[in-house]
């Protein structure tokens, strides 16, 4: 279990997990109100990694666009490879 740092973009036109120039970007439809964007980002990250949502927990950044999640059973390198389709 390693920390995975992501940049969350709320109020996006679609929900997506992508690799950007600065790392992993999670675009969510929800607004950044009451933790809705964070929760949607957590679920999108889990779906992209192919793990259950319960395997992804927020470590820090609940009020920031830059968030650190922990994913049980996968580290950041494994997630990047999965997102790249390897």
The values of phi and psi at residue 82, to 5°, are -65, -40
Q: What is the pLDDT of residues 36-86, one digit of tens each?
A: 999 999 999 999 998 999 999 999 999 999 999 999 888 888 888 888 875
**Per CATH, which fold does 3-84 belong to?**
Conserved Hypothetical Protein Mth637; Chain: A; (3.30.1200)
Q: In angstroms, rounded to a whole number, what is the distance separating the alpha carbons of residues 86 and 42?
A: 22
Nearest CA to 41 out of 66, 75, 22, 73 is that of 66
What residue spans define the domains of the chain? 3-84
Quote the strand ranges of 1-86, DSSP E. 3-9, 16-20, 23-27, 56-60, 66-71
Predicted structure pTM score: 0.90
Residue 29 is given by DSSP the state S
């Amino acid at each position: 279990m390693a920390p995975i740092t992501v940049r969350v973009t709320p109020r996006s036109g679609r929900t997506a997990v992508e690799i950007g120039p600065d790392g992993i970007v999670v675009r969510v439809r929800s607004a950044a109100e009451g933790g809705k964007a964070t929760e949607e980002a957590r679920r999108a990250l889990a779906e992209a990694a192919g793990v259950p949502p319960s395997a992804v927990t927020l470590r820090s950044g609940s009020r920031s666009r830059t968030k650190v999640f922990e994913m049980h059973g996968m580290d950041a390198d494994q997630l990047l490879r999965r997102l790249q389709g390897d």
